[in-house]
Amino acid sequence: MSGGTEALDRIVGRLRGTTDPKRRYAYVLWLAQKLEPLPDEFRVDLFKVKGCVSQVYVVGELQQGRLHWRGDSDAQITKGLLALLIEALEGLTPEQAAAVDPAFLADTGLQASLTPSRANGFLNIFKMMQAQARSLASGESTAGAASGAPA
């Protein structure tokens, strides 16, 4: 359906299950509220997503071979989109996360409701998370991954 992960398939199914953009936004905002606060030490350019109008930070770490994500944004919708991606990629191996097809973004139906700049930001967050996953898979630190993130 989306990218082959159970959490991602569940999220895509939930979003595709409604044709009402307001309900989709409500779900995204609910996810934003669930996101844990990001410590200030990670609010640096190294972890900042390039190509987003909002201030967005995302940090991937390996814990026992599985990805653990943290992040934040100063815009609630963007924070919710980030939370959606964190939930979808949480607990995957770096290889699994790097292999997720970005086509799932269209499968959510969210992009039809997003402004072009926000839709582009959604993709940029996802690409940065994948770049971090690839770097972690190759044994680099998240800092190395973040510096090679797409612009």
Residues 6+ apart with CB under 8 A from 137: 93, 94, 95, 98
User: What's the pLDDT band for 6 if we cut at 50, 70, 90?
Assistant: confident
Alpha helices in 59-115 (DSSP H): 76-89, 94-99, 104-107
Q: At what angle do helices 76-89 and 6-16 cross, to 10 degrees?
A: 140
* DSSP helix/strand/coil, 149: coil
Percent of the chain with pLDDT over 70: 89
For the stretch 12-43, pLDDT in tens is 998 988 888 889 989 999 999 999 999 999 99
Cα separations in angstroms, 59 against 47, 69, 128: 6, 6, 9
Instruction: Please provide the CATH number assigned to the domain covering 6-147.
Output: 3.90.1010.10
- Residue 67 DSSP label: E
Mind telling me the catalytic residues? Answer: 52
Q: What is the pLDDT of residue 127?
A: 96
For the stretch 65-108, pLDDT in tens is 999 999 999 999 999 999 999 999 999 999 999 999 998 888 88
Domain ranges of the chain: 6-147
Alpha helices in 1-141 (DSSP H): 6-16, 21-34, 76-89, 94-99, 104-107, 116-137
